[in-house]
Amino acid sequence: MTGKDEATLLAGLPTGLLIDGEWRDAAGGGRFDVLDPSTGFVLASVADATPEDGIAALDAAARVQDEWAATAPRKRSEILRGAWQLMQERKDDLALLMTLEMGKPLAESAGEVVYGSEFFRWFAEEAVRITGRYGVNPEGTGRTIVSNHPVGPCFLITPWNFPLAMATRKIGPALAAGCTVVVKPAELTPLTTLLTAAILEEAGLPAGVLNVVPTTSAGALTEPVLQDPRLRKLSFTGSTPVGKRLLAQAAENVLRTSMELGGNAPFVVFEDADIDAAVTGALLAKFRNVGEACTAANRFIVHEAVADEFAERLTQKVAAMKVGRGTEDGVQIGPLINAAAVAKADDLVREAVGRGAEVRLGGGPVDGPGTFYAPTVLDRVDAASDILHSEIFGPVVTIVRFTEEADAVRIANDTEFGLVSYVFTRDLARGQRMIERLQTGMMGLNVGVISNASAPFGGVKQSGIGREGGFEGIHEYLSTKYTMTPTPFG
């Protein structure tokens, strides 16, 4: 299906709140503008949900929870599968919309449609495979039944950097498990989530099962929803500081929580690595999504024997990258999400340079309209630099050097985060050692992209709690019940 042009696509979007199957204005009629980060122009005006709207959305989710939980798994599966199919038919529109509101190149947005929609297909298949077990207790006096049940109404908070995938990765397993949901998309990129909700409606999702409440007052809306005793689950993707605050609020009602928080990914290149493969992997791990990803390689830890070669080859590749609006042909680096993101990246780069880092390429914002930052390569970064201890969220490579394997492990683990790591080596035993020694929830061994709907995504330490994707993902939305019955033989 051919995608609409920009104006036609934007004119046809839903821009209200979705509550109990109705697209409505916010209480009080407030609205907010969604901007194109490549130009600063307004794309659309969206209803600005109030705390009252948040509770109305939870009212709807709670009202239909029992009915949705009792819906046959096959029916839930067919709705998700139907939504996946509709997304394939509208892939061009979804990709264009993401590029407009988030800024990533159109080719990457198309890739996100493939990846993000897959969560609906994957969890459509998992919906009919929710199982339990039956057995004899050790004493032989009874029979044990273990069953899985929907946890209940869920509150899902999604980030701005992957507007489609972060929504489907939460909505898919929740609906498959039989849970109803309230979704609060990011203020900066709500349009893709609203379109996804409309697609689910078209696929036959009953009213009230999915409710969407974009808002500019995230804290004010979130707090009363988390305090409501009808809510049973919180899933959040975002920064670690915000995640900590939400965990504290969720503790009041002992909510089930899934937290996918910050990252500070090490990218380790050993002296025996295939340098061509390492450079290719580095480009993917760093510059995918303009570097605005929790999985982005943040620290390039390179053996001194190959560091010069790696840095030179990588710099040549980065220098050839085209910067521009994501809709333009050949663009590989789009804008950062807003001016604050540009300022953050620039502050980190300047501090590192002040400590002696060598600027091989870039090193500052791009002049002109939009919020662009030049692709940057910093070499010989001092270990005390802030940029090695902060999530950059921008197109900046930072290279540090090591001599011994133990040094690489120490540097890689020297962070409170533990989401993902990348390792390039031809030595199988060394790769196995890294699997066991690096303190991360995920690893790319000789690959630069690790995300897949069939695999459990998540971190350790302050990078989060729980897993999304894989068969593990649906269990985050299920509670386990154990039942004892007497022996049937008297």
Active site residue 179: no
Structure tokens at 185: 């998309």
Residue 449 · residue 287 · CB < 8 Å: no
Residue 374 · residue 323 · CB < 8 Å: yes
Structure tokens at 380: 């010989």
Cβ-defined contacts of 7-14 (< 8 Å, 24+): 9/93, 9/96, 9/97, 10/43, 10/44, 10/100, 13/44, 13/97, 13/191, 13/194, 13/195, 14/194, 14/195, 14/197, 14/198
Q: What is the layout of strands, in order, in the sheet containing 256-260?
A: 22-24, 17-19, 210-212, 181-184, 154-157, 233-237, 256-260, 464-465
In DSSP notation, 56-110 reads: HHHHHHHHHHHHHHHS-HHHHHHHHHHHHHHHHHTHHHHHHHHHHHH---HHHHH
Give the active site residue among 101, 126, 201, 260.
Answer: 260
Structure tokens at 434: 């890294």
* Helix, strand, or coil (residue 23): strand
Please give the helix or strand (H or E) that residue 173 lies within, else none: helix 165-177
Chain length of the chain: 490
Residue 142 · residue 487 · CB < 8 Å: yes
Give the active site residue among 101, 294, 391, 476.
Answer: 294
In DSSP notation, 37-66 reads: TTT--EEEEEE---HHHHHHHHHHHHHHHH
Please state, in angstroms and rounded to a whole number, the distance separating the CA atoms of residues 232 and 434.
37
Active-site positions read 260, 294
